[in-house]
A = this chain, B = another copy of it.
Amino acid sequence: MPIRALVWNENVHERTNETVAKQYPDGIHGAVASALAESEGVEVSTATLQEPEQGLSEERLAGTDVLFWWGHAHHGDVTDETTERVMRHVWSGMGFVALHSAHFSKPFKGLMGTPCNLSWREAGEKERIWTVAPSHPLAEGLPPFFELEPEEMYGEPFGIPEPEETVFVSWFEGGEVFRSGATWRRGGRVVYFRPGHETYPSYHDANVRQVLRNAARYAAGRRVTTAAESDAAPNVPASEAPEPFEARGPRLHKDGEAGFR
């Protein structure tokens, strides 16, 4: 079965800033999608902030194995309802790949439980991305390091939970370092990948595009529950316990009653 990848983009600077429009005439979502489309076995579609339900209806998400996310200036326009819908799908098994400034997107911050802050500088400097976990699927087909220039600097400390695996670390011309590729599980797999400032051509870089394809395969997940049921907390009556035993003691709840939330 093919992997169903959905690339979401706020899609604002591409329409309002000439530099960005020239870099990404098909939008950043278009550039990311075109990288994924070069993979066999990946079906790609795109969605943007301007669509109804911000392009992320229950139906769209239910048909998605891995969601890529790019946003920057309009994080706040993604509603709490949409954010929770996305999070529930990740909880139920969908993969989520946060790109560049999506570190401050509402779903990524919600999934991390941390501020996801960092220091930054927009000065067109050189970034050298080192693979620190060469055998990790995210690093497949990459050289020991690759360079992007110009890129925006993101500097440590990056306000994330300790990654399950740190895969890439960046060296910046201006003297900083950054954990540029990292993974977590929140039901589904979550990946953060750093490059991609909108005024620079990073999503046309061959190595960046290879990482995007790797991320689609790595993070794509099967559903283990419906999104609606992703936080179910079933009350298992004593009579249905795997081992028979005699219930006893004082109780607040009746059999099968829903718990407090």
Contacts and interface: CB of A to CB of B under 8 A. Distances in A.
Interface stretch (A36-44, A48-56, A204-212, A239-247): A239-247
A13 to B, nearest CB: 7
Contacts of A134: 157, 224-225
A233 interface: yes
A92 to B, nearest CB: 8
A72 B104 CA distance: 31
A161 B174 contact: no
Interface stretch (A1-9, A24-32, A113-121): A113-121
Contact of A221 (B87, B125, B135, B230): B135
Interface string A228-253: 00111111111001110101111111
B119 A252 contact: no
Interface string A90-117: 0111000000010010000011111111
The dominant DSSP class at the A interface is loop
28 contacts: A17-B252, A73-B260, A74-B260, A104-B260, A110-B113, A117-B231, A119-B234, A120-B233, A120-B234, A121-B235, A122-B251, A123-B251, A124-B247, A124-B251, A133-B162, A135-B185, A135-B187, A153-B241, A159-B231, A161-B185, A162-B165, A169-B169, A171-B175, A173-B245, A175-B242, A176-B241, A199-B249, A200-B249
Given A122-B253, A140-B222, A171-B176, 19 more contacts: A17-B252, A76-B261, A91-B114, A117-B231, A121-B235, A123-B241, A123-B245, A133-B162, A135-B185, A135-B187, A135-B221, A145-B242, A161-B185, A162-B165, A166-B179, A174-B245, A175-B243, A198-B252, A199-B249
7 shortest A-B CB distances, which residue pairs?
A124-B249, A175-B242, A115-B231, A174-B241, A123-B247, A175-B243, A113-B113
